Amino acid sequence: MKIAFISDVHGNLEAFAAVCASIKDEHVDRVVFLGDIVGYGANPNECIELLRTITEHCVAGNHDWAAAGRQSTETFNPAARDAIEWTSAQLTAENKALLMSLPLSLEINQLLCVHATPFMPQKWRYVFNECDAELIFETFMQRICFVAHTHCPAIFIEHEDTTVMREISSQVTLHPRCRYIINCGSVGQPRDGDNRASYGVFDASCSQYYLVRVDYDLASAQKKILRAGLSDFLAHRISVGR
C-alpha cells in the first residue's frame, strides 16, 4: 500500500493542481488529506472540489473549521482572520457543509492521521521540535502518526528513550523498533524556506517514506490573491516560502 499525504493547500489551486499531477506519476493506492484546504489563497471552492476528486480520507484543519463557522478565529493573526472572513463569504453551502463534517483524526492501515496533535487535536497545538514531539509520543499508541499544521516538513523519531528530529533528505526507511511523527509540509504555503509545494509518500510494503517537492505557477497564485483583495503579505509569503 502506497499512500500520498497532502496538507495545508490553503486555497492555492495552482500549487494543488501541480501536486495532483505529480501524485499521478507516483502511482499511489490512496491519498490522505491532513487538513487546511482553505484559508489564505484565492480558490477555496475549486480546491475543495479538486480534493473531492482525489480522496475521501480527510481530516479537518483549523482553517477548515473556522471557514465553516465551527470554531472561532480568536487565535488567528489579522491577515489569517481577514482571509477566513473572505473565504467564508466565497464558500458554497455544500462546500461549507463538507468542511463542517470533517473529523479531527482518522486511522488508516494503523497510521494515525491528524492536522495538529493526536491528544486534544481541537487545541491546534504545533509539533515544532524534539521537546514537543517527546510529549506527543506519550499520547498515542500507534507506531506512526502523520501530522501537518506547521507547514514545515519534518520527521521525529522515538527510539527507546530518545527522540530526535531529522531532516528528510531523500528517502527514509522506517525501522520496526522506532516510532515516528511525520509532517509532510504544505502544498499551498510552505514555510521551510523552499517555496515549492510539498507532500509526502509512504510505501508500507517497504516501510519507506519520502518527500516530494513540486514547482508550480506561483505568479498566477499571487496575482489571484491580490486581485481578491487579500493581504499583500499572503502573496509575498508564498514566494519566500516562510
Kindly indicate which of the ranges 13-21, 29-37, 120-128, 210-218 contains the residues binding Zn ion, using the contact rule CB under 5 A: 29-37
Give me the sign of the Cα torsion angle 97, 19, 152, 195. Answer: negative
Please identify, among the stretches 16-24, 32-40, 100-108, 226-234, the one whose residues bind Zn ion according to the rule CB under 5 A: 32-40
The CB-of-162 to Zn ion minimum distance in angstroms stands at 29
Nearer to Zn ion, 36 or 158 (CB): 36
Rounded to the nearest whole angstrom, what is the least distance from the CB of residue 174 to Zn ion in the complex?
A: 25
- Please give the Cα distance from 223 to 235 (Å, whole number): 8
Told to check if 36 binds Zn ion by CB under 5 A, we report: yes
Specify whether the backbone of 8 is left (phi greater than 0), alpha (psi in -120 to 50) or beta: left
CA-based nearest residue to 45, from 22, 75, 68, 20: 68
Nearer to Zn ion, 8 or 14 (CB): 8
Amino acid 195 reads: N
Q: Which stretch binds Zn ion (CB under 5 A): 36-44, 64-72, 166-174, 176-184?
A: 36-44
Contact 151, 194 (CB under 8 A): no
C-alpha cell at 79: 491577515
Q: How far is the CB of 63 from Zn ion (least distance, A)?
A: 6
Q: Does 192 bind Zn ion (CB under 5 A)?
A: no
- Strands 208-214, 197-203: pairing is antiparallel
How many residues form the binding site for Zn ion (CB under 5 A)? Answer: 2
The answer to whether 8 contacts Zn ion (rule: CB under 5 A) is yes
- Give dist(CA 85, CA 144) in Å, integer: 35
Part in contact with Zn ion (CB under 5 A); list of ranges 3-11, 17-25, 93-101, 194-202: 3-11
**Smallest distance, Zn ion to C-beta of residue 79, A:** 13
Helix (H, G, I), strand (E, B), or coil: what is residue 58? Answer: strand
> Using CB under 5 A as the criterion, which residues of the chain lie in contact with Zn ion when the complex forms?
8, 36
